[in-house]
Structure 1
Amino acid sequence: MPPAAEKSDTVATARIPTGRWWRPVVLASVAACAACGLIYELALLTLATTVLGGGIVATSLIVAGFVAALGLGALLAKPFVDRAASTFVWVEGALGLVGGVSATLLYVAFTTLGSQTGSLVVLVLATAAIGALVGAEVPLLMALLQAGRLSGAEETGRTLANLNAADYLGAVVGGLLWPFLLLPTMGMQQAAAVTGLVNIAAAAILLALVLRHFLTRARAVAAGLVLALVAALLASLLVAVDDVTEWSRARLYPDPVIAHTQSAYQEIVVTRAKYNGRTDRRLYLDGTLQYSSLDEYRYTESLVLPAVAGRPSDVLVLGGGDGLAARDLLGVPGIRRVVQVELDPAVLRIARTHLRADNEGALEDPRVDVVVDDAFAWLRRGGDGAVPVGGFGAVLVDLPDPRNPALSRLYSQEFYGLVRQVVRDDGLMVVQSGSPYSTPHQYWRTVSTVRSAGWGTTPYHVHVPTFGDWGFVLASKDGTPPGLRLRTDVDDLRYLDAGVLGTATEFGRDVAPMDLEPSTLDRPRILDDTRRGFER
C-alpha cells in the first residue's frame, strides 16, 4: 500500500474491491446497524417506563437526547471520514458494547443507587453515547460508498438516497422486532445483549467482505480482534445476565422472588415470605407494589362493597387482573355475571398460578368472563357485545396508578365518559384513586375528573397498612353523590362495617379536598400529579 494509505483508508483506490457487489453489502450492513440502533433506543424507552415510571420527562430526555446525539455524532465523525473503514469498525465495536450492556447497567443502577435521579443520569448518559455512535455511522458509510468515485451532484444524491433508504428500512425492522419478538421472548437485558451481538456480527461481515480491502493487513487484524473482544464480552454478559438480574432484583424486593416475567407491557414479580407464621405474597408491576396478601382484604372490600350496594346482577371490572376483586364479587348474593377486562395476559397467567391461593381461583369460575383487551379500546367499541341490556349495574375501575402516558388515558375525562355508556341509569362506579396523603393531587384530580364526566361523586378513604391512607371515588351515573352503604347479606367480611364506612368520607386538614381541573387526553395533568407524589 502507498505510504499515504497508512493515514487514509478511503483514498487507497488501488485496493478498492472491483465490481458492483460490495456497495450492496455496505447498504445491507447499514440496514442491520440501523435496526440495532433503533432497538437500543426502544430498549431505553422501555427501561424508562419500567424503572422510572415512563414519565414525560424521561421519555422526552430519551427522544430529544437521542436525536441531538445523532447530530453530535455526525459532527464528531467529520475528522475521520478519510479513515472511514477503520473508524467504522471502532464505532460499531463501541456501539455494540454500549448498546448491549445498556439495559443491564440501567437495571443495576436502578436497584443499587436507590434514587430516581441516579437512574436518570445513567439513562441520559447511555442515550447520549448510543445516539452519538449511531450518528457517526452515516458520514463514515457515505465516505466508503463514495470511495474511488469522481461523483457529481446527481450521483452523490443517488448514493445518499440509497444510504437513507437502507437506514430507514433497517429502523422499521428494528421497530417491529423489539415489541413483537425480542422483548416478549428474551426480556430487556438479554434482548439488548443479543442485539449487540448482531451489531458486532454485521460489522464483522462487512469487515471480512469489504472493509479489509481498505485497510492494511495489520489494521484489518486489529479491527477483527476488537470485534471479537466485544463479542466475547457480550457473550459473557448473556451467560451471566440471569445471575446479575437475580442479584439486582434481590436488592429491589425485600422478600424472595417466586415468579418473574417480562411481558410486552410490564415487569411482573411475585414475592413470598413468612411473618409470624403468616404467608405474605406480594405482587409488583414494574417495581410498584400492587398488594400484600396480609392486608389486601381491606383494599378489596373497600373497592367492591360500596359499588354493589345497588344489588347489581352484572358487574364490569376494568383491570384487577390479580383476580381479587372478582373473588369478592362472587361472594355477593345476586351477582350472576362478572366481565373482567385485563390488558396483560401475563398478569392473568400469574393470577391463575402463583396468586391462585389469594384469589381462590375466581378467574376460572364460570360466572367470570375474562376479556384480554385494552379497557379504553374495549369501551370505545361498545364492549364487543358483552354489555347486558340496559348496562352494567356496577363498574369497578381497579387499575394501576397513572405513572405513564398509557395509564393516564385510563384516568381521563374521556375514559370516564366511555364508562357511562355501559352503565345502567341507576348504576354505580368505583375508582381506585391513590393515596389522599401520599399523592394528594393525583387523588383529588381523579375526583375532579370523574365529576367532570357527569358522574355524581363521593370520595372516601380507608387505612391499608401496606399502603397507608388509600382513597377511592364512588360515583353514580345520575349525577347525585351516592351514599356509602354496606349490604347486610354479605358474609365473611374481615374489615368493613358500618362504622368504618361512616367515617370514610371524612378527610382531615392535611388531606383536605382540592378542586382541580380535570385530566384529559389532551392535557394529562394527572401524570405530573403522580410524579410529584412519588417524589414526595
Structure 2
Amino acid sequence: MSVSAEPAVEPAGPVKPRGRVARTAVLVAVFICAACGLVYELALVALGSYLIGDTVGQASIVLSLMVFAMGVGALAAKPLQRWAAPAFAGIELLLALLGGISVLGLYAAFAWLSLYMPALIATALVLGVLIGAEIPLLMVLLQRIRRQDAGSAVADLFAADYVGGLVGGLAFPFLLLPLFGQVQGALLVGVVNAAAGIGLVLTVFRRELSKRATLLLTGATVLVGGVLVGAYAFADDFEVTARQALYADPVVHSERTPYQDVVLTESVSLNGNSDTRLYLNGDLQFSSMDEYRYHEALVHPAMAGPRERVLVLGGGDGLALREVLRYPDVREATLVDLDPAVLELARTDPRVSTLNKDAFADPRVRAIAADAFSWLRDNRERYDVVLVDMPDADSTATAKLYSTEFYGLVRHAMSENARVVVQAGSPFFAPKAFWCIESTMRSAGLNTVPYQIAMPSFGEWGFHLANATPTQPPPT
C-alpha cells in the first residue's frame, strides 16, 4: 500500500489583490496623497505670509520642519508595515483631519491666543510625520499586489508622488485660493485626502481588515468627514469673527484677492467723526483722519514744475490721484496698480470714493491694473511727474519695487526736467530702509532730496524727491 504525501500547507499570509486595477488604484492614491500633502505645506506658508508678512522666513520654517518630520515619520512607520492597510487608513484619516483644520486652528491661535509660532511649529512637525509615514506603507501595499524589484517599485511610487506634488502645487494658488480661500480650501483638501486613503483600503485591501478594524475605520471616517464638512459650513462665519479680532475697528469690507487680503474698517469717534481705514495684508494703508497729510506731502512737492502728464505707480485707493487732479493744467493722469479689486473698491465703495472725490470718474484719468515693474518695461511714454506710492518693502514680492532696476525704469519714463517722488517709510522707526532707498535711487541716476512729515496714524514718515537731469540741482 502506498501512502501519498499530503501537500505542504503554506502559512496564511496577507491576501494579495491582483491585477492592473488594484495597482493603478494604489498609484492614484499616492498621487492624491502627494497633492494633498503639498497643499497643506503651501497653506501653512501662505497663512504665515499673510499674518506675519515674512514670506521667506515662513517658507523656510515650514518646509524645513516638515521635511525633517517626514524623515521621522518614515522611520516611525517601520513597525506598522505588518498592518500596512489599516495603519495607512488610520494615518490618512488623521492627516486629513489635522491638515484640513490646520489653517483654521492657526488662524485662531493668531487671532485669540497669541500662540501662532508655537502652534505653527507643532502643526508642521505633526503633519510632516504623518506625510512621511505614507510612502513606506504604500510601498508595502504596492508590493502585496505584485512583488517586483525595489528599484522599479520605488520608481513607480515616486513618479506618482512627484506628479501629485506638481498638481497640488499648481492647484493651490490658481484654483483653491481664488475659489475657496485659505480656510475652506484646506478643509476641502482634507475631505479629498480622507476619501482617497479610506477608499483605497476599503476597496482594494478590504480583505486584510478584520470586522472590528472595518467598523473602527468606518466610524472614524464618518467622524472625520463630519468634522471637516461641519467646519467647512461654518468657515465663513469663523473667518469674519477671526478677522474682526485682528482689527480694533469694525470691519465693513473684506475680500481675499489673488494678490492680497483687502480689509476696510470704519469707526465713529465720540465727536461724530468717522475714521475709515484700509489694510492690505494687515498693513495700514491710510486713515481718513489724517491721510490728507500723507497724500499732500507725497504729491504737491513733485508738482512744482511742468505737470501736464502725471504717472502714479501704486496708490490704487485714488487718494494721491485726488491731489493730482486739483491742478487744472494736468492733461493726463495714468495710474498703475497691481490689484483690480482695490481699483474697483476705490471706484464703487462710497466710503473710499468719497475720500478720493470720485477721482477715477475724471476723464483725464487712465487706470491700469498691472504690475508696475512689468508695465514700466513695456512703457514707451514719458511723464512730467512720477509718484511712487508703493507698499513698504517688507516682503520679497515688493522688494523689486525698491530696486535699482525699478528706479532705472522710472528714470526712463521721465521726460526732461521731470520729477519723481517715492514714499520711503519711516526715517525714525526704519532709518536703514529709508536711507537705503535714497542710495538705491541715486545708483539709478536720480538726484534726491529727502523730506519727512508727522502723522498721528503712522508717526514720522519720509519721502525722497528727485530729478534725473545730471546738470540740474536736486529739486527743493
Give the TM-score normalised by the residue count of structure 1.
0.83
Which of residues 190, 200, 218 is equivalent to 1:196?
A: 190
1:457·1:481 contact (CA, 8 Å) conserved in 2? no
1:100·1:195 contact (CA, 8 Å) conserved in 2? yes
Q: Distance in 1 between matches of 2:368 and 2:42?
A: 28
Say which SS state the counterpart of residue 253 (structure 1) adopts: coil
* Residue 269 of structure 1, CA deviation: 0.4
**Structure 2 equivalent of residue 32 of structure 1:** 32
Read off the aligned partner of 1:50 and give its amino acid letter.
Y
Say which SS state the counterpart of residue 131 (structure 1) adopts: helix
1:73·1:134 contact (CA, 8 Å) conserved in 2? yes
Q: Distance in 1 between matches of 2:20 and 2:250?
A: 59
Q: Distance in 1 between matches of 2:417 and 2:175?
A: 46
Q: Distance in 2 between matches of 1:121 and 1:442?
A: 30
**Structure 1 equivalent of residue 330 of structure 2:** 335
Which of residues 440, 443, 465 is equivalent to 1:449?
A: 440
**Structure 2 equivalent of residue 78 of structure 1:** 78
Which 4+ runs in 1 deviate beyond 6 A?
A: none
Which of residues 416, 423, 427 is equivalent to 1:432?
A: 423
Residues 9-408 of structure 1: pairs in structure 2 closer than 5 A? 13=13, 15-114=15-114, 118-147=115-144, 149-151=146-148, 153=149, 156-275=150-269, 276-354=271-349, 355-380=352-377, 382-383=378-379, 387-388=380-381, 391-408=382-399
Say which SS state the counterpart of residue 284 (structure 2) adopts: strand
**Structure 2 equivalent of residue 461 of structure 1:** 452
* Residue 120 of structure 1, CA deviation: 2.3
Q: Could you tell which deviates more after superposition, 211-220 or 254-263?
A: 211-220
Read off the aligned partner of 2:69 and give its amino acid letter.
A
Q: Distance in 2 between matches of 1:135 and 1:305?
A: 59
Q: Could you tell which deviates more after superposition, 82-91 or 289-298?
A: 82-91
Q: How many residues align?
A: 462
The change in CA–CA distance for 1:63 and 1:295 in structure 2 (over 3 A counts) is: same
The change in CA–CA distance for 1:185 and 1:360 in structure 2 (over 3 A counts) is: farther
1:261·1:268 contact (CA, 8 Å) conserved in 2? yes
Read off the aligned partner of 2:243 and give its amino acid letter.
R
1:16·1:213 contact (CA, 8 Å) conserved in 2? no
* Residue 445 of structure 1, CA deviation: 1.5
Q: Distance in 1 between matches of 2:389 and 2:12?
A: 67
2:23·2:145 contact (CA, 8 Å) conserved in 1? no
* Residue 412 of structure 1, CA deviation: 1.3
1:458·1:481 contact (CA, 8 Å) conserved in 2? no
1:434·1:442 contact (CA, 8 Å) conserved in 2? yes
Q: Distance in 2 between matches of 1:85 and 1:164?
A: 19
**Structure 2 equivalent of residue 413 of structure 1:** 404
Say which SS state the counterpart of residue 285 (structure 2) adopts: strand
Give the TM-score normalised by the residue count of structure 2.
0.93
* Residue 13 of structure 1, CA deviation: 4.5
1:184·1:263 contact (CA, 8 Å) conserved in 2? yes
Q: Distance in 2 between matches of 1:417 and 1:113?
A: 45
**Structure 1 equivalent of residue 474 of structure 2:** 482
* Residue 481 of structure 1, CA deviation: 5.3
Say which SS state the counterpart of residue 343 (structure 2) adopts: helix
Q: Which ranges of structure 2 fall in alignment gaps of 5 or more residues?
A: 1-10
Q: Distance in 2 between matches of 1:111 and 1:12?
A: 55
1:447·1:457 contact (CA, 8 Å) conserved in 2? yes
Q: Distance in 2 between matches of 1:364 and 1:137?
A: 57
Read off the aligned partner of 2:186 and give its amino acid letter.
A
Say which SS state the counterpart of residue 263 (structure 2) adopts: strand
* Residue 14 of structure 1, CA deviation: 5.2
Q: Distance in 2 between matches of 1:12 and 1:317?
A: 77
2:38·2:168 contact (CA, 8 Å) conserved in 1? yes
2:187·2:228 contact (CA, 8 Å) conserved in 1? yes
Q: Distance in 1 between matches of 2:229 and 2:320?
A: 45
**Structure 1 equivalent of residue 5 of structure 2:** none
Q: Distance in 2 between matches of 1:146 and 1:15?
A: 12
RMSD of aligned Cα (Å) = 1.7
Q: Distance in 2 between matches of 1:415 and 1:429?
A: 13
Say which SS state the counterpart of residue 345 (structure 2) adopts: helix
Q: Which ranges of structure 1 fall in alignment gaps of 5 or more residues?
A: 1-10, 485-536
2:448·2:465 contact (CA, 8 Å) conserved in 1? yes
Read off the aligned partner of 1:318 and give its amino acid letter.
L
1:93·1:200 contact (CA, 8 Å) conserved in 2? yes
Q: Distance in 2 between matches of 1:43 and 1:212?
A: 33
1:303·1:430 contact (CA, 8 Å) conserved in 2? yes
Say which SS state the counterpart of residue 434 (structure 1) adopts: coil
Identity of aligned residues (%): 45
Q: Deviations over 1:293-338 (max 9, x none)?
A: 1111111111111111122211111111111111211112321111
* Residue 444 of structure 1, CA deviation: 1.6
Read off the aligned partner of 2:251 and give its amino acid letter.
V
Say which SS state the counterpart of residue 289 (structure 1) adopts: strand
* Residue 63 of structure 1, CA deviation: 2.2
